[in-house]
Structure 1
């Protein structure tokens, strides 16, 4: 373990982005300032953040001695001494992409000393030479207007609302169930409001003035449907399932909070009814916990936020190049090695992590608790381990997943070398099947997502085992062509399109076998859209998350795949709200504010037969820019609620004006608002 110290008052790192202008090329400038009284020597500078320095490009003032994706180590010139009061300036003219937002630059920095110790640096957010605007953090809150277009506050808006008049606001509610499903819903709702609004006392006893709410079983209602009735001082919720009762209670809680917080705008009804059910079955959120780690408490509260938005799927992205986050008994090194980053470790500091050992993973006990917690909120959890690509951390922990005779290197679009487990090795299937058996036991929804995205075009091109397998299934010409991709950097302008390539054929071999194994255990297999290469997976026992655009989604639906629509241009919540420098996030797929997301039609242009293959929609949180949790709140809210209404409310009943008037009442995860 390395020693780490901090000199916040004596050493400071400033970074500046100079966009190309007036015929000059762009530059990313790093300035290390020695504000102390002692000179500094025999050190290197290590930085990480979403932006990636291209090691093949031009760097002035330093040399790149180590680079892994977004981690870069800069060496000063020979015999360099940074004197008291002096500044070391590094100018970088080679990046994987030009910076667009303040979160693109370095979000952590430290010095590595010759004795193995480190010095953590004070680092300011990257500034742009063409923008002095204050940097934005925290959620953008839409104020509740004096005159709202509706009298009750509900998101997502129900199918049928016919309520009238006003009654005094109840102190709270005491649900009274007639069945096990109703009792479970009442317990889940009590836990939900305790998570989100503990001091408000939405659920309380009749001794504290609560109004009883009758939960009555009603045949003929759909699995997530409910009927909420207000009549003669009584409140009744009818449903046929635990989730239906829960959603009726959520609607009641939302109406109550609106009338309580804004009594001049909203009312608590004295009569009438709300009859409701969702328009889509899959209303999901994906969370990447590999790039940034989120503790169990954060995940539990996020699940509560999902339930308050009537979202019912949580896609849990548990592994990627940067980390492995789930305990596997058969392979303890997956977490002992793959869950941690730090200076001198198998995985260096990435994406703003510090030189000290940082990270974490979910124990099996924690996962069981989270799964049960989600179930009580009407949320099913889909775990993802991303294979065969995006496996750098996994390979550090289990090197047997690589052909020992493999030579040369290939690189992923994120700059990770040799990050794909080998589909030609029998050992690979032994390991993967063992891991999957442990996952199946943890996740009773029995839907396992395998990733299958962004395999580099040159993957396995230096593996004798893979080339032999490719030769046997596709012939000499394909195998020989694939071997020529060794040591060739292919993805210089985005993720490789591997359609029809040797890499695609080998991935299809892998997915075919693993999907059949999952099916034999009664599981549905999920994949990103690249899992369709070769059309080898059983379409009746799988589904795809389509992320490029709605045209690709429609084309895959036409080919018979069940589709969850999540195009990056609108449903990727790491994309910035706007193109401005002062906004956090990324924008490689575009930018999308809440209004654009709300008005987006996820099945625009689809035919009737294609719509038969629609499972639903999903927002995706990729965590690269979210070291700062105030950035999380800004990027996720209220866009998450906008997606929820698209998944629940009939298109003909949607209204941006109404949504905007109500969105400010919805909960945030961290409660961090734009100041």
Structure 2
């Protein structure tokens, strides 16, 4: 490697840190007309640089020297800068990637050479681990007691071990005559076929029997495993899926199980029902693209642990991931980023073209796959903030040339908010949401609604005129104006709007919108008391991109603190309110989320999710009075054999 980049913390205060950045030229030639390109997850004070000039958009920084002197062979460039940030505690806080771009002088003015100069030609840079002021070496551990004989997660309402076993083999068969059991029976058939390496038939006289019981409420089920039959009873599609999930968890995970051999399932009797009707997980596919096979694998795990909702974050500043027929530029341009793309590089893979999107056929395939497993897919199309990918792809529709408002979003963008002053904004919202509603059968569409920064819409003649027209006094009311329009568009298609807690800003949407509380627990309580139905997703307990321990080498972020397994499990939504409080009746359920600024692979995704995903599963399903941390740890120990067999890269507890 010809170049090396070092970053060192040289001073830190509560909310201000100073850093030293050193670029080493290890090549045998001087480096001329160069610029350093790197990413970092903090906003750098550009005026604080002791040497050089910096331009930053989002996490992407371009540093150029202030002089034209070449960087000599075996020499180095040094600068210092400050950032308004709490002290760094994780190696992931540093610079993950960088490259060098250099240009040659073109005295001839040749057109081709000039054009080539405008393109960025990345040269690799070795980035060393950030030198933290006081890195912690303490690794957080969770010693696990011995596994139990039956290790279902989440814990069922009632479980009785009968003694004896059912022999599952290639001559077994599945009987599922009721329509409500069709999807779950296909899921079970696919699972058992993969397990036994033989396809179990679906036939009327099978010994694994889905039995319709209209007396069981939505989501509830009974599972009876006898020596000669397995009975799965439910009165709903969801109930049959939950029964199937429990049966799948009873399958042995011993690595010694051979193909075509019979396996023994313990004889049990289970009666069970969910505590919350909504049990979700959100995955951010905008910051990094996750291919369909990865999503299917994730949906299998969600179904196994009785989640019923996959919240699919499809659009953001850094990428638009959903095919929209009316606006092909959204994916032609907005789905890709790189040094020479419309969207600048961000986060990782910055030296090349990176991205991807989901076709409508892929979406339909995934919806069907998830439905068989009892999972509803809810799309999220962010607005009016987090829209940079769309705005850059469709400037003729979404850019107001007369708007001179100055703002910077929390992620560092000065140009990522839709404007309510343009007719194109409303055409965009209406058209996109119409295609989304046609594609997704879920009764909900999530529109984001979060993190609209201060200063937006304040220097726009069109926005001022709109405020006068409607009698608005605060530009923030324009956020409510746009979201009310989105809510009306969705309602016209029979859909109910969902949004993050800031969707209530501007006081324009109706209480028909479902609010997701993410910044803290109190926001959910306030929304519930204001009459909104609420999904609890406070970052401090449910954001699985947070680091799982306290050592500096722990992957993740810590803006909302560290999130070890025990902290996840202890969460009890609105525990301060009595069960009789009307606000409690507004809590529809709980959700965890994985934001993916730093999650760009299957291995990393699995590490951040497991085993904390299992704790979230129990929070959503099992009533608080039946939850037990020691008991959960024992059952978790019993689940590790499955995680190993499935090849899941989970964080080890010890």
TM-score, structure 1 as length reference: 0.86
Match of 1:69 among 58, 63, 82: 58
Which SS does the other structure have where 2:430 is aligned? helix
Q: Is the 8 A contact 2:16 2:85 kept in 1?
A: no
Mapped partners of 1:383, 1:25: distance in 2: 37
Using structure 2 for the length normalisation, give the TM-score. 0.89
Report 1:141-540 matches (<5 A). Answer: 145=145, 147-148=146-147, 150-167=148-165, 170-171=168-169, 174-191=173-190, 198=194, 200-201=195-196, 204-205=199-200, 212-257=207-252, 271-399=267-395, 400-474=397-471, 478=473, 502-540=474-512
Deviations 1:295-350 (CA, angstroms, capped at 9, x unpaired): 11111111111111110111111111111111111111111111111113221110
Aligned pair partner of 1:613 in 565, 580, 586: 586
Q: Name the stretch that deviates more: 566-575 or 605-614.
A: 605-614
For 1:24 and 1:427, locate their aligned partners in 2 and report how far apart those are by CA, in whole Å: 40
Partners of 2:16 and 2:41 in 1: CA distance: 21
Identify if the C-alpha distance between structure 1 residues 505 and 392 changes in structure 2 by more than 3 Å, giving closer, same or farther.
same
Separation of aligned partners in 2, 1:206 and 1:627:
39
CA distance in 1, matches of 2:71, 2:17: 26
1:6 maps to what in 2? none
Cα distance, 1:206–1:409 mapped onto 2, change above 3 Å: closer
* Shift in alpha-carbon separation, 1:54–1:626, aligned structure 2, 3 A: farther
What is the CA deviation profile of residues 225-261 of structure 1, one whole-angstrom value per residue up to 9, with x for unaligned ones? 2111123432211122333222212212212236788
Given that 2:254 and 2:641 are in contact with CA atoms closer than 8 Å, whether structure 1 keeps it comes out as no
Quote the offset at 1:456 in angstroms. Answer: 1.0
Q: Secondary structure at the match of 1:91?
A: strand
Contact 1:51–1:97 (8 Å) recurs in 2: no
Please say if residues 3 and 23 of structure 2, whose CA atoms lie closer than 8 Å, have aligned partners that are also in contact: yes
Larger displacement relative to structure 2 (530-539 or 617-626): 530-539
Q: What SS does structure 1 have at the residue aligned with 2:251?
A: helix
Give the Å deviation of 1:12. 2.6
Q: CA contact under 8 A between 1:570 and 1:591: conserved in structure 2?
A: no
Cα distance change, pair 95–113 in 1 and its aligned pair in 2 (3 A): farther
**2:125 matched to 1:130?**
no
Q: Distance in 2 between matches of 1:630 and 1:397?
A: 31
Q: Does residue 1:12 correspond to 2:9, yes or no? A: no
Tell me the CA shift for residue 588 of structure 1. Answer: 1.6
Q: CA deviation at 1:674?
A: 5.1
| Cα 1:408/1:236, change in 2 over 3 Å | closer
| CA spacing shift, 1:444–1:674, aligned 2, 3 Å | closer
Q: Aligned partners of 2:326, 2:416: CA distance in 1, in Å?
A: 21
Structure 1 CA distance for aligned equivalents of residues 2 and 83 of structure 2: 29
Q: Is residue 671 from structure 1 mapped to residue 652 from structure 2 by the alignment?
A: no
Write the distance in 2 (CA, Å) between the matches of 1:193 and 1:309.
Answer: 17
Please, which moves more after superposition, 461-470 or 91-100?
Answer: 91-100
Gap change, CA 1:537 and 1:671, over 3 Å in 2:
same
Range that drifts further, 526-535 or 230-239: 230-239
Residues 278 and 292 from structure 1, CA distance in 2 versus in 1: closer, same or farther, beyond 3 angstroms? same
Shift of 1:271: 4.2
> Does residue 644 of structure 1 match 2:606?
no
Matched ranges for 1:593-632 at <5 A: 593-607=564-578, 608-627=581-600, 629-632=602-605
- Given that 1:573 and 1:620 are in contact with CA atoms closer than 8 Å, whether structure 2 keeps it comes out as yes
Give the secondary-structure state (helix, strand or coil) at the position aligned to 1:455.
coil
SS at match of 1:457: coil
CA 1:374–1:141 in 2, change beyond 3 Å: closer, same or farther?
Answer: farther
Further displaced range: 440-449 or 112-121? 112-121
Instruction: Tell whether the 8 Å contact from 1:18 to 1:28 is kept in structure 2 after alignment.
Output: yes
Contact 1:50 1:624 in 2 (8 A): no
Are 1:175 and 1:186, in contact at CA under 8 Å, matched by a contact in 2? yes
1:5-154 → structure 2 map (5 Å cutoff)? 9-20=1-12, 26-56=17-47, 58-64=48-54, 66-95=55-84, 98-114=87-103, 115=117, 116=119, 117-131=121-135, 133=137, 145=145, 147-148=146-147, 150-154=148-152
Residue 530 (structure 2) aligns with: 559
Secondary structure in 2 aligned to 1:93? strand
Aligned partners of 1:174 and 1:203 also within 8 Å: no
Deviates further, 662-671 or 241-250? 662-671
Cα drift, residue 449 of structure 1: 0.8
Is the 1:392–1:418 Cα contact (8 Å) retained in structure 2?
Answer: yes
RMSD over aligned CA atoms reads 2.8
Corresponding residue number in structure 1 for 2:113: none
Query: Residues 408, 516 of structure 1: CA spacing in aligned structure 2 closer, same or farther, 3 A cutoff?
Result: closer
* Stretch deviating more after TM superposition (595-604 or 664-673): 664-673
Distance 1:95 1:530, change over 3 A: same
**SS across alignment from 2:63:** strand
Q: CA contact under 8 A between 1:418 and 1:459: conserved in structure 2?
A: no
- In the aligned structure 1, how far is the partner of 2:582 from the partner of 2:433? 34
Q: Is the 8 A contact 2:166 2:229 kept in 1?
A: no
Q: What is the count of residue pairs matched by the alignment?
A: 621
Match of 2:109 in 1: none
3-state DSSP class of the match of 2:552? coil
Give the 3-state SS of the residue equivalent to 2:225 in structure 1.
strand
The 1-side partners of 2:533 and 2:510 are apart by 11
CA contact (8 A) 1:171 1:202 kept: no
Offset, 1:39: 2.2
**8 Å Cα contact 1:566/1:618 also seen in 2:** yes
Aligned-partner Cα distance in 1 for 2:162–2:318: 54
